[in-house]
Amino acid sequence: MDTPISEPGFMGIAVGAALTGLRPIVDLMFGDFLFLVMDQLCNQAAKTHYMSGGKLNVPLVLRTNLGATRRSAAQHSQSLHALIAHIPGIKVALPSSAYEAKGLMKTAIRDNNPVVIFEDKLMYQEKAQVPEEEYLIPFGIAGVLREGSDVTLIATSSMVQVASKAADILAAQRISAEVIDPRTLVPLDEKTLLKSAQKTSRVIIIDEGHQSFGVTAEIGARINEKAFYHLDAPVQRMGAMDVPVPFSPTLEDLTVPTPDKVAARARALVRGEL
């Protein structure tokens, strides 16, 4: 359904459609435009089930994106998933591959709650085989992409690829890194994250959102609260710099974590330098 370029308008229509029995999927071209639909999403869709005493549901899926390093400048390069995860009543999914994108989307459509799926813009250029048959990826179940014993790398969205490449660099230096993809922030699979932290005793959290008050802070706080006595070093956080995303390619590339930066932080952590 093609709509006018009026984000508050078509988001409001989708909330109404969900309330009356449909399962609309809203495609928001840039995640930055979430600011335009916050009332419909966070005041209406997120709270209706609670405010109706469980009588009403809003089975709505909002598909949008995140990510820098695409030369789109400050108003088209933000990663706002932590902002949405802060609102009770909304589920938040972050696919890290084509396989995850299909499986999480199918689960989101079947959910009776509003779900926001964030895809990384850079990953739209990647191609991969996905099963033609039906499959669902359950929410709240993290994926352990690589098992390790020296350090845990918890990464979201496109940072999963960054963490995996960092793990390859570390393996060549005989450092064993475990790589975990939470898949969903809400619900969050605390059990898997804590189990890994307890095993390796060292944790780095990598996310493309701004580091302050974001995903890295929340996951780090939970690990500190519930696995503190298993840690051999403070939990490390690597997010985007706390600046508007620059348009200059040279400056933009400096704002987000890279495999080399993650590997360097992990080496220092394992060596007891942090």
* Residues carrying an active site annotation: 7, 76
Is residue 24 within 8 A of residue 14, CB to CB? The reply is yes
Q: What is the 3-state secondary structure (H, E, C) of 161-203?
A: HHHHHHHHHHHHCCCCEEEEECCEEECCCHHHHHHHHHHHCCE
Cα separation, 255 vs 251, in Å, equals 7
User: What's the alpha-carbon Rg for the chain, to the nearest Å?
Assistant: 19
Query: Smallest Cα–Cα separation from 159: which of 120, 105, 118, 202?
Result: 120
Cα separation, 27 vs 185, in Å, equals 20
Query: Smallest Cα–Cα separation from 81: which of 40, 46, 34, 45?
Result: 34
Cα separation, 261 vs 169, in Å, equals 11
Cα separation, 141 vs 231, in Å, equals 23
